[in-house]
Amino acid sequence: MNSEKLIVIIPAAGAGTRMGNTVKKQFLSLGSRPILAWTLEALSRISWVNSIYLILPENQIEYVQSEILNKYQFNKVNQLIAGGAERQDSVYAGLKRLPEGEHWIMVHDGVRPFIAEKLVRQLRAKAFHTGAAVLGVPIRETIKRVSSNRIISTEDRQHFWLIQTPQIFRKSILVDAYEKAFRENYYGTDDSSLVERTGTTVSTVEGHSYNLKITSPEDLVVAEKLLSVYFPEFQ
């Protein structure tokens, strides 16, 4: 292993259609900055984040360079990469640009700005021990299986978690999982789902509901309130 520091891949090339806005969700204003800038602010503060690979819509690369990276001096971002049609394509574009040798890779959503360093530290420790680890929160509400607006069954919620990012993997584990997925034309909803398909066990670390993924107008309202908690010096 070349380093115990992390290389972070941030897929931020999505369309964000649930926002009902012509501006992509990662570039929407949250307080005084775009959402993506707050995510980069949070990650840049973590000393063992070594470098950040930012995956973007190709037509937004120049904008991000001038209006986010240069403006806010995010020096840990050292790769701007054009993304693909799906999130999985974008992460894979980042994986293909990684340096040779074994590394620790952390994948984190560009619209999750409220990630606490304490949680990343716990996740990192778990991943270093097991090779693959994700954040998540146990579901505390009743879970129903529904079809055509009719309840089919009630599930045992103690076996269900809502999985978040970041997710940390040994490079070889994640690359192997992605290559298998593309060989088989399989698209998952997160990175750990691809790793699971290789037979590798993925460990969990309990996260926090404040680690919000901003994907709807309602999320944006909550995020405005959280800004003063996570970034008080900018308020």
pLDDT confidence of residue 233: 78
Q: Does any domain span residue 28? A: yes
Q: Does any domain span residue 171? A: yes
Enclosing H/E stretch for 143: strand 143-147
Q: Does any domain span residue 83? A: yes
Question: What residues make up the domain containing 156?
Answer: 6-234
Beta carbons within 8 Å of 146's beta carbon, 6+ residues apart:
152
Q: Does any domain span residue 197? A: yes
Q: Does any domain span residue 206? A: yes
Range 169-207 burial, b when 16+ CB lie within 10 A, else e: bbbebbbbbbeebeeeeeebebbbbbbeeeebebebbeb
Q: Strand, helix or coil at 183?
A: helix
How many H-runs (helices) and E-runs (strands) does the chain carry?
A: 8, 11
Q: Strand, helix or coil at 10?
A: strand
**SS3 of the chain: helix, strand, coil, percent, to 5:** 40, 25, 35
CATH number at residue 32: 3.90.550.10
Q: Does any domain span residue 1? A: no
Question: What distance in Å separates the CA atoms of residue 25 and residue 103, rounded to the nearest whole number?
Answer: 30
pLDDT confidence of residue 4: 83
Pair 77, 49: CB distance under 8 Å:
no
Question: What distance in Å separates the CA atoms of residue 59 and residue 48, rounded to the nearest whole number?
Answer: 31
pLDDT confidence of residue 17: 54
Question: What distance in Å separates the CA atoms of residue 217 and residue 201, rounded to the nearest whole number?
Answer: 35
Tally of structural domains, the chain: 1
Residues lower than pLDDT 50 in the chain:
none
Pair 64, 36: CB distance under 8 Å:
yes
> Could you give the strand order of the β-sheet that contains 49-56, starting from the edge strand earlier in sequence?
77-82, 49-56, 6-11, 104-107, 161-170, 132-138, 203-206
Pair 109, 55: CB distance under 8 Å:
no
